[in-house]
Structure 1
Amino acid sequence: MRFPHSFLLHFTIAVRHWLGRSLPLVLLIALLLSGCRSLIAETKASSLSQIVLTSLQDPATFNPMLNQEFPSIFLFSFRGLTTEDGETGEVKPDLAESWEISEDGRRVVFTLREGLRWSDGEPLTADDVVFTIQDVILNEKIPTDNKDDLRIGANGEFPQVQKLSDRQVEFLLPEPYAPLLRALNGPPTGVVILPKHTLQGSVETLDSQGNSLFTSTWATNTDPTKVVVNGPYKMERYTPGERLTFERNPYYWEKDAAGQQLPYIDRIVWQFMESTDTQLLSFRSGDLDAIGDVRPLRPEYFELLKREEERGKFTVYTGGEWSGTTFITFNLNRGKNAQGQPLVDPIKSRWFNTLEFRQAIAHAINRPRMINNIFRGISKPQDSPISVQSPYYLSPEQGLKVYDYDLDKARQLLQSVGFSFNAEGQLFDADGNRVRFSFLTNSGNEIREAIGSQIRADLAQIGIQVDFRPISFNTLITRVTTTRDWECFMIGFTGGIDPHSGANLWTSKGGSHMFNLGPQPGEPQITGWQPNDWELEIDRLFTAGARELDESKRQEIYGNFQRIVQEQLPVIHLIHEIALVAVRDRIQGLKYTGLPSWGLWNIQELKVTSIRLKQTQAEQCQ
């Protein structure tokens, strides 16, 4: 409506006169109107389709080549040349639309999809693939676990990667390499492709210590909108300790059968919550759209949520045995740091490096009790380092060694190598040292905290004092992989179809070979590190398994690998969790199984059938 100028003049004078007497009321009205405007803006933003997910911890990095955590932002934001179908485990095209393998298996040519673009609109070409492999992963000045994905043969040679055209890349291999296609399958375990036009400068520039600036590029203090990605979502806003928001990548390549560009959902809000109990409360109150999408639901949550499905308008899905592994491990490293100090107390190092000691620990852990009390019977004992879904999995029925709960056997093993018990049942070594060690895991994961508490009680039954302490995940990873300041800890690892996806954990020079982690590029000097003979045998088996293209022979090779792990016990596997997730019914398109390490692996295909909006506050402003 338009008003005459004379009306506006008289109205202005009247308001000024009124303000002199009624300023508090006007301020209140202004504040209310301001609040309504913010709610209206929030309401408009909420008209976009979105889902709200959660994680226990903030991201440690925005740089995929430096990532050692799960979950991570890269599940949403980056892709590889290939991908793995979460239902079948089949390798499928992703950024590459196809590939050709020569008859001798030593030449692989990938053809990229036409018209690929980065999230900033720049073309994604073969130059980016060559840059990622040759300039970043194979760069000696850049420490990345992805090197382990591409080490080939007994000498750990790398492929030669070269551009044939803007859309074609050639990989020349020193010998046939069966895991190559899965090694390039993107997050969470494979190689992601990086933007050369954004990162080349940081790779080529060195700091005063001679290290590549790439290692400090895309840290979590980076403006998230500056991180250029090729996945379905790009980062929009990050508030440490609270949330990370993603928005649709307008240049993501994938389309549905009708030609509509994916992803369907406009925004993802990734909330950070300090415990799984807090996550449960938020899910039940309607603030979260899924729980259990990263790690399986806690069994007691399953029982509770199953009763609330209809009222809460969500569904609890079961996907069979989860592909991941959970284990405890001791620090077997005999090396010394740059100051010449042992990484592990020599007294405790002797215990940890005694096979019978590790076997006794395995026999003393009461896994049946763990299954009944902590997992409510919804799990099974885990004995193999390979996922049960893998064709290379060796079961106990096929001869894999297991360690049943047996306290008498545990005591016998300890006594056979010089340990003894005093009158109070406390355990001492042959030199009279009380057996006591620290035991770490990541805080906030109530399942692991419960497991840790039980293991502490279990080992007390054989006279061992365990100092169990959950700490933050990022602190734990730093202590394990950088300072190596730890004695025993518990963690989980993502699984998969091909055992070679775990090469960085199992090969002696792997960047995640945590139980005996050797010198790594760019880290302070370590002296006196050496692998055990059985570690070198695992190296040989992984080399042979990667070279072998005959599936029956690969099964035999990886069967031997599993036997060595169970005989030598560098890690003690615990429980095979059952994949459980609860998801709002408004989310459609879920394909949930226990195979992928992430329940929402096809997130770009998910749809929401209603807008997620709490109406009450907005209605108060109308």
Structure 2
Amino acid sequence: MSLRAGRVRAAVVGASALALLVAGCGDSPGGDGGSTAADTLIVPGQNGDYVRNFNPYSPNAIEGSGTIFESLFYFNLAGRSQEPTPLLGTDYAWNEDGTELSITLRDGVSWSDGEEFTADDVKFTFDLLASGGVPNTTGFSGTTEVVDPTHVLVSFEGPAYMDGPQLLGKIWIVPEHLWSAIEDPGTDPVNEPVGTGPYTLTEFKPQSFTLTANPGYWGGEPALTHVRYDALSGNQATADALSAGQVDVFSGPVPDIAHVEEDYPGYQAITVPMNQTVLDTCANPDLGCEGPQTDPAVRRAVYYAMDREQLNALAFQDTGGEVSPGFALPERDAALVSGELEDPTAPMSADQDRVDEILTGAGYARDGDGFYARDGERLSLTVKVVVGWNDYITALDVLTEQLAAAGIELTVAQVSANEMLDARARGDFELLIDALYPGPAADPYYLYSYFFGSENTAEVGESASTNYSRYSVPEVDAAIEALRRTDPADTEARRAHYDAIQARIEQDMPYIPLLTAGTTTEFHAEKFGGWPSAEDMYAFPATWSHPDQAILYTHLRPAHKD
């Protein structure tokens, strides 16, 4: 079964065997609303202790984007409407040639310390972005002018249409009166965050922290008064806690994903296809990458050696969908999937003939054990994965067998989440299993800019902001820049640039596509109302996606208050 972007299905998820393991761990999640406080949403967080950091621009932030710090608007990638929801901004407009963006701001907003929010805060934040003071993943270089306390004007040297949704939907506005004193706002930890958002930080411990509804929030104090994040050691521990009623929402896989309502009384689930699951490769030897994966032939051989139907069934419980090697979403972006691609979507079964053709053409030959080798060195790769991420670990176990059958040796290295983040940013890996995420609007331009643009990468040993593969190709950079400057309404003018990007990245394959991931969120429907549904997908319901999680929390209400 294949789930593609734009399609949402309700699901029921569960595991009766897990219920036996945790039967004595707490009250059942049924009629009494579970074993947790009625006004507190319990969210499982990372594996291991939290390090206190709520800087929304730091790669090591643990929360805050959307909940504490807000963007100007919210763009819902899972919904049917493309119109953004006003947050700190209420209106915006481009001039005729796309060189000026006029933004109207909400009046009467206060920071959580009581200071007034004004256009000066927006200018300060945008200036941080333009100067490189915080990560600038789309190359924003505009000049921001304060027109009055509720209006700013952003000017660009040329057309910059694609900067709009990024500036409006994914830039977290910070308070100038506090952040002007931060030495390195892109990396320094923020321990006592002050924002305009619906929640504030009220309690922090290494194993748990709590956000509390902001009574001065401009949108009104949320009905969901507390959100508590608990550190848990991986998907299995989270599934156990879910079964015991000790977790209220989890965006991730659990066993037997087809039967939640039977196995978890009071819970329901929903699956939404969105992000693309990939193998990141440190691909660029010119920037310091080392290993056989720096050869595009090896990356393409791995791509053709996969049996994606088997991976989907054994690791992802058939919640994944087809993926394009050009990384436009096959359904949402159907009109943009290039006709010049060799494979519009990745093959779902292995193609040993192609593997043999590619590797023999690159000078490899089978050794006595059946593995490919060149110059006396076996084709052997190491892939990193986070301890406890059971679906990814299972996928790599399956993939190890598939690649061995194809003549490629794969070794799996399990590491902590912090080790993974550091290795990914610094290029300290050959392969790692990961997911590429979409941008602020329904356009593949943003994914190309984030993950394939040279300006978002760095030499091995230095921190890359989003282009972890170290991919750097001038013709791809030129096409990304051309898309940035072209009116999104001019589909024909943009098509040639999409075609150029997709054709080249299919051949180079710095990220090896597995599947389009179906994100399943299990939620305590009996304890809280207001969850997204197929009929009202007001937000992408994933607690790790920002600012979607904040929109979700502000819609929830404790059932006992209904």
Query: TM class by shorter-chain length?
Result: 0.7 to 0.9
Name the counterpart of 2:94. Answer: 101
Look up the equivalent residue of 1:507 and give its one-letter code.
G
2:455 aligned counterpart, secondary structure:
coil
Look up the equivalent residue of 2:452 and give its one-letter code.
W
1:65 aligned counterpart, secondary structure:
coil
In the alignment, the residues of structure 1 paired with residue 471 and residue 435 of structure 2 have an alpha-carbon distance, to the nearest angstrom, of 23
Deviation at 1:597, TM superposition (A): 6.9
Name the counterpart of 2:171. Answer: 191
Matches within 5 A, 1:453-602: 453-482=397-426, 484-496=427-439, 497-502=442-447, 503-511=449-457, 535-549=473-487, 550-553=489-492, 554-585=494-525, 586-592=527-533, 596=540, 598=542, 600=549, 601-602=551-552
Tell whether the 8 Å contact from 1:283 to 1:289 is kept in structure 2 after alignment.
Answer: yes
In the alignment, the residues of structure 1 paired with residue 71 and residue 533 of structure 2 have an alpha-carbon distance, to the nearest angstrom, of 21
2:397 aligned counterpart, secondary structure:
helix
- The alignment's TM-score, normalised by the length of structure 2, stands at 0.82
Q: CA RMSD in A?
A: 2.9
Tell whether the 8 Å contact from 1:119 to 1:250 is kept in structure 2 after alignment.
Answer: no
Deviation at 1:368, TM superposition (A): 1.6
Q: Which structure's residues are more often helix, by fraction?
A: 1
Deviation at 1:180, TM superposition (A): 2.6
Name the counterpart of 2:3. Answer: none
In the alignment, the residues of structure 2 paired with residue 93 and residue 335 of structure 1 have an alpha-carbon distance, to the nearest angstrom, of 44
In the alignment, the residues of structure 2 paired with residue 200 and residue 178 of structure 1 have an alpha-carbon distance, to the nearest angstrom, of 29
Name the counterpart of 1:139. Answer: 131
Deviation at 1:355, TM superposition (A): 2.4
Q: Deviations over 1:158-193 (max 9, x none)?
A: 10001111111110011222223310244xxx1110
Q: What is the aligned-residue identity percentage?
A: 18
Name the counterpart of 1:7. Answer: none
- The alignment's TM-score, normalised by the length of structure 1, stands at 0.74
Name the counterpart of 1:66. Answer: 58
Of 204, 213, 236 in structure 2, the residue corresponding to residue 238 of structure 1 is: 204
Name the counterpart of 1:165. Answer: 148
2:368 aligned counterpart, secondary structure:
coil
Deviation at 1:265, TM superposition (A): 0.9
Name the counterpart of 2:268. Answer: 315
In the alignment, the residues of structure 2 paired with residue 159 and residue 608 of structure 1 have an alpha-carbon distance, to the nearest angstrom, of 43
Deviation at 1:214, TM superposition (A): 3.3
1:323 aligned counterpart, secondary structure:
strand
Look up the equivalent residue of 1:421 and give its one-letter code.
R
Aligned: 1:149 with 2:92: no
Tell whether the 8 Å contact from 1:324 to 1:495 is kept in structure 2 after alignment.
Answer: yes
For structure 1, list consecutive stretches of 5 or more residues without a partner in the other structure: 1-45, 152-157, 203-211, 255-260, 337-342, 523-528, 613-622
In the alignment, the residues of structure 2 paired with residue 66 and residue 485 of structure 1 have an alpha-carbon distance, to the nearest angstrom, of 19
Look up the equivalent residue of 1:137 and give its one-letter code.
L
Aligned: 1:218 with 2:173: no
2:116 aligned counterpart, secondary structure:
coil
Aligned: 1:421 with 2:374: no
Distance 1:608 1:390, change over 3 A: same
Name the counterpart of 1:352. Answer: 293
Matches within 5 A, 1:285-324: 285-292=244-251, 295=252, 297-298=253-254, 300-308=255-263, 312-319=265-272, 322-324=273-275
Deviation at 1:132, TM superposition (A): 0.8
Tell whether the 8 Å contact from 2:66 to 2:172 is kept in structure 1 after alignment.
Answer: no
Look up the equivalent residue of 1:580 and give its one-letter code.
T
Distance 1:397 1:606, change over 3 A: farther
In the alignment, the residues of structure 2 paired with residue 597 and residue 507 of structure 1 have an alpha-carbon distance, to the nearest angstrom, of 28
Tell whether the 8 Å contact from 2:261 to 2:267 is kept in structure 1 after alignment.
Answer: no
1:274 aligned counterpart, secondary structure:
coil
In the alignment, the residues of structure 2 paired with residue 578 and residue 519 of structure 1 have an alpha-carbon distance, to the nearest angstrom, of 32
Distance 1:113 1:379, change over 3 A: same
Distance 1:358 1:75, change over 3 A: same
Deviation at 1:150, TM superposition (A): 4.1
Aligned: 1:333 with 2:288: no
Of 227, 233, 239 in structure 2, the residue corresponding to residue 280 of structure 1 is: 239
In the alignment, the residues of structure 2 paired with residue 185 and residue 324 of structure 1 have an alpha-carbon distance, to the nearest angstrom, of 21
Distance 1:530 1:73, change over 3 A: closer
Distance 1:400 1:323, change over 3 A: farther
Bigger Cα Rg = 1
In the alignment, the residues of structure 2 paired with residue 492 and residue 113 of structure 1 have an alpha-carbon distance, to the nearest angstrom, of 35
For structure 2, list consecutive stretches of 5 or more residues without a partner in the other structure: 1-35, 544-548
Tell whether the 8 Å contact from 1:52 to 1:271 is kept in structure 2 after alignment.
Answer: yes
Q: How many residues were matched structurally?
A: 501
Name the counterpart of 1:81. Answer: 72
In the alignment, the residues of structure 2 paired with residue 583 and residue 109 of structure 1 have an alpha-carbon distance, to the nearest angstrom, of 40
Deviation at 1:72, TM superposition (A): 3.5
Look up the equivalent residue of 2:267 and give its one-letter code.
F
1:610 aligned counterpart, secondary structure:
helix
2:165 aligned counterpart, secondary structure:
helix
Distance 1:368 1:48, change over 3 A: closer
In the alignment, the residues of structure 1 paired with residue 370 and residue 554 of structure 2 have an alpha-carbon distance, to the nearest angstrom, of 57
In the alignment, the residues of structure 2 paired with residue 473 and residue 370 of structure 1 have an alpha-carbon distance, to the nearest angstrom, of 23
Aligned: 1:90 with 2:83: yes
In the alignment, the residues of structure 1 paired with residue 229 and residue 470 of structure 2 have an alpha-carbon distance, to the nearest angstrom, of 42
